Amino acid sequence: AGGLLYDRLNTQLLSVLALTSASVFVTPSSGELLYAHGTSVLAGFSMGALDTGANVWLINLWPSGCGPVLQVYHLAFGVGAFIAPFVAEPFLSCNTSVTANTTRHGGLLIGTGTLSREPQLPFAFGIVSGFIALVATSMFVVYLVDRSDCKPSGGEQSSQPVNLVLVGLLGCYIMAYLGLECSYGQMLATFAVESDLRMTKSEAAYLTSLYFLTFTVARIGSVLWSMLAGPSCILITCQLLTAVIFTLLVVFGDSSATWLWTLSGLAGVSLAAIFAAAVSYTVQFVVMTNRLMSMVTVAASLGTMVPPLFVGLFIEKDPMMFTYVCLATALIMSAFCFAMYLVTRGRPLVTADVSETQGGHVG
């Protein structure tokens, strides 16, 4: 739905509306659980639409070199995930009930009691909501200054069967990628505790932190890498590294803590640049419209549902199932990556044509 709206309405204005509707300020104020679910669903729809439009918007603004820009965009996700716990932590204190007792002892009044404090969690939502409102306001000011819209030229060619096949393969690839990324991030701690290594929960938490740390730092490096290398080079390198790492995880993952720590850090590095590189590679051959990008976004959302379905149900009974699913997903990604190469082999690039067309309109 978001892709269809972006194809029909002004991108800047709709982005402002999506950001505003994604405001999470009302979520903790919902008096009933049903209303909280409703606001969460609304935020999810708006954020999904925004993610679709933002990717296509950046691609259209930088048609001949969107790789570094997309890497920066996806770096922001990692930075946000890193900052969020620090924003929420001060407001996560437990509720304290208040009781006051007074007793008379020897002519003196002796009082005992505890202080009462209301939950502070709404303030965390307010901080995030305020930041969203600030971004929305700044975008609205830009819209008032320049109401021009940037939509892809030659979008009618995107409906050709070969282009639909390529975008479909991209969607499947991204779905597998998100499944692997989320499975490893969400289930790594459980595997470390339940496997033969028998790590403590504290050690497992630090292990997961290492994975996300290397993931975020590697995304910073991927911005610089994308300035020096093309998306195909980045994609193939990361895909090969991913397949090797998760193969080693099956062999050594439950037998050596050193191997698990090392492979977890390398897993974050290998996965960091893949999403942006895959999209950058595809838009070299397809004029990416919002409608097509919405298909990829839906596939990505489906990929995030993999961990509880394919890992969570079995990891306590057989912890090694975690490594098997990760390796299988990495191999599936390799298959889709190779299929994308076969579809694009020998095809001319459309990036230069789009850039020249947009340059002609500006002049």
CA atoms of 11 and 171, how far apart (whole Å): 23
Most confident of 152-161, 232-241, 298-307: 232-241
CA dist 107 and 66 (Å) reads: 81
**134-138 long-range Cβ contacts below 8 angstroms, 24+ apart:** 135/19, 136/16, 136/19, 136/20
The reply to whether 82 falls in a domain is yes
Domain holding 161, by residue range, is 2-90+122-362
Q: What is the pLDDT of residues 131-165, one digit of tens each?
A: 887 888 887 888 888 777 666 665 555 568 888 99
In a domain, 165, yes or no: yes
- Return the bridge partners of 109, or none: 104
State which amino acid sits at residue 355. Answer: S
Taking the C-alpha atoms of residue 23 and residue 40, their distance in angstroms, rounded to an integer, is: 10
pLDDT band at 235 (very low <50, low <70, confident <90, very high): very high
Q: Give the chain's domain count.
A: 1
| CATH classification of the domain holding 251 | 1.20.1250.20
| Helix or strand (DSSP H, E) at 111 | strand 108-113
With a CB cutoff of 8 Å and minimum separation 6, the contacts of 175 are 299, 300, 302, 303
In a domain, 204, yes or no: yes
* pLDDT at residue 146 in the model: 78
List the Cα angle 316/85/98 in 5-degree steps.
95
Tens digits of per-residue pLDDT, 87-120? 777 776 554 444 445 444 444 444 455 444 555 7
Range 59-71 average pLDDT: 83
Residue 113 placed within a domain:
no
Residue 103 lies in a domain: no
Residue 14 has pLDDT above 50, yes or no: yes
pLDDT value for 242: 97
- Convert the pLDDT of each residue in 258-279 to its tens digit: 999 999 999 999 999 999 999 9
Percent residues over pLDDT 70 in the chain: 77
Q: Tell me the per-residue pLDDT of 281-291, one tens digit each, with 9 for 90 and over.
A: 999 998 888 88
Rounded CA gap, 71 and 68, in Å? 5
Amino acid at 346: G
Q: Could you tell me which residues come within 8 angstroms of residue 216 by beta carbon, excluding any fewer than 6 positions away?
A: 75, 78, 79, 81, 82, 268, 272
Rounded mean pLDDT of 220-248? 94
Rg of the chain over Cα atoms, rounded to whole angstroms, equals 24
Torsion of the alpha carbons at 157, 162, 165 and 167, rounded to the nearest 10 = -40
Q: What is the pLDDT of residue 159?
A: 62
CB 80 within 8 A of CB 47: no
Q: Is 99 a member of any domain?
A: no
Among 181, 207, 180, 182, CA closest to 192: 207
The pLDDT-based confidence of 236 (bands split at 50, 70, 90) is very high
Burial classification of residue 254, based on how many CB atoms lie within 10 Å of its CB (0-12 exposed, 13-18 middle, 19 or more buried): buried
pTM, 2 dp = 0.79
Q: Is residue 95 part of a domain?
A: no
| Residue 107 counted as domain residue | no
Using a 10 angstrom Cβ sphere, with 0-12 exposed, 13-18 middle and 19 or more buried, the burial of residue 176 is: buried
* CA dist., res. 243 & res. 235, Å (int): 12
Give residue 205's pLDDT: 87
